[in-house]
Amino acid sequence: MKLSKVLLTGTVGLLSLGLAACGGGSGEGGGGGSQTVFKLAFNQTEEHPQYKAAVSLSEKLEEATDGRYSIKVYPNEQLGTQSDVVQNLSDGTVEMMYIGGPVMEGFNSDFIVYNLPYMFDTYEAQQQIFNDDELNADLFASLEDSKNIDVLTALYAGVRNIYNSKQPIQTPEDLQGLKIRVQQSDSQVQMIEAMGGIASPMGQGDVYSALQTGVLDGAENNTTVFHQLKHDEVSKYYSYTKHLMIPDYLLINSDVLAGMDDADREAFLALIPETREEANSGFLEFEDESRTEAEGIGAEFNEDVDTAAFKELTQPVVDAAVAENDVRKTLYDAIQAANEANPA
Ligand code: GCU
């Protein structure tokens, strides 16, 4: 784990933030009875492996710091949408959160490289990139000064595919005219428009009713959101366009991290790789389980998709984004090497 040198060496006048947290309470969602309880915002359910990994991070942190720190996880968008919560994280009223990659583009557009269509060929290729601390060090610490935010780690968040209420999608023609929800960023809008659909950016919590009322024809997401957030009830055709493998990030307010004493911070940072590991391995199973359960309630999964056609249509979006600057080019080249080393 490599945060900025400032944090690692602890040479700055560290803010004293023992007072930072509140809202604890024991039991569900972690939290325990520790002196300082970080609030961690999450927009999905308690069944999700990222929720479970955060609860076990809390338990280990509490033990490692002799009860000085723990984490209380707030699931189901209780603290607001990711776009809203990240502002509170920046202000320090929420200490930690999980966030989808595209929302990060609003703060530093170079995050876009990891959110582009058909970027990672395999899970292993994506893992190679996110195991490379040196490659990601500057990007992950890039919001410390401007936004008071550090990226602790990047997590696997599934493969995203298109689902809709009308028909299976096999070719780009099938997507023509369909209104598809995307995450809130330019890269996601451009991607769906290039694939042939009409992009409708919105927060995750509004998607179910928009599908139900026909405001949306469909959305794009992994099988876990499709089933766990009940989108399969109102949008039953799930087609494996496999257009995205976007990471989620675990974020922390930089002052909060800096405010921990050195030994506690070190203990905390040492727990992050295993938290990521737990979340990732749980996610792979969760994807499969979610598909089986969705099938059980009548969802139809279509593997027969012309992914090459979709990839070709989105290539100009990728090329334009990567050509923007050298930071992006470096990340992109590393991804190509990781894809070659970990082919499908
Ligand atoms: C995934 C991802 C979330 C994101 C969501 C979305 O579930 O893990 O971080 O918010 O997709 O599409 O909004």
Structure tokens belonging to residue 171 = 């070719």
From the CA of 182, give the closest atom in ligand 1.
12
Question: What is the per-residue pLDDT across 197-246, written as a single tens digit (0 to 9) for each?
Answer: 999 999 999 999 999 999 999 999 999 999 999 999 999 999 999 999 99
Domains in the chain with CATH codes? 12-157+246-285 (3.40.190.170), 160-245+287-341 (3.40.190.170)
Pocket of ligand 1 (CB under 6 A): 43, 82, 100, 157, 183, 204, 221, 225, 248
Question: What is the per-residue pLDDT across 299-310, written as a single tens digit (0 to 9) for each?
Answer: 999 999 999 999
Cα–Cα separations (whole angstroms), residue 267 to 60, 69, 197, 198, 251: 9, 11, 47, 47, 17
Question: What is the per-residue pLDDT across 36-66, written as a single tens digit (0 to 9) for each?
Answer: 999 999 999 999 999 999 999 999 999 999 9
Give residue 155 CA to ligand 1 midpoint distance, Å: 12
pLDDT tens for the 344 residues of the chain, in order: 335 533 433 333 333 333 334 444 445 677 767 799 999 999 999 999 999 999 999 999 999 999 999 999 999 999 999 999 999 999 999 999 999 999 999 999 999 999 999 999 999 999 999 999 999 999 999 999 999 999 999 999 999 999 999 999 999 999 999 999 999 999 999 999 999 999 999 999 999 999 999 999 999 999 999 999 999 999 999 999 999 999 999 999 999 999 999 999 999 999 999 999 999 999 999 999 999 999 999 999 999 999 999 999 999 999 999 999 999 999 999 999 999 999 99
Q: Report the Cα–Cα distance between both ends of the chain, in Å, rounded.
A: 28
Structure tokens belonging to residue 2 = 């490599």
DSSP 8-class letter at 321? H
Residue 152: how many CB atoms within 10 A of its CB? 22
From the CA of 98, give the closest atom in ligand 1.
9
Question: What is the per-residue pLDDT across 62-73, written as a single tens digit (0 to 9) for each?
Answer: 999 999 999 999
Q: Whose CA is nearest to atom 3 of ligand 1?
A: 100
Q: Which of 40, 42, 44 to mutate to test the pocket of ligand 1 (most atoms within 8 A of CB)?
A: 44
- Residue identified by tokens 């330019």 is 186
d(CA 203, CA 80): 10
Give residue 19 CA to ligand 1 midpoint distance, Å: 31
From the CA of 101, give the closest atom in ligand 1.
9
Residues 6+ apart with CB under 8 A from 253: 20, 89, 90, 92, 94, 95, 96, 148, 149, 150
Q: Which of 98, 231, 248 to mutate to test the pocket of ligand 1 (most atoms within 8 A of CB)?
A: 248
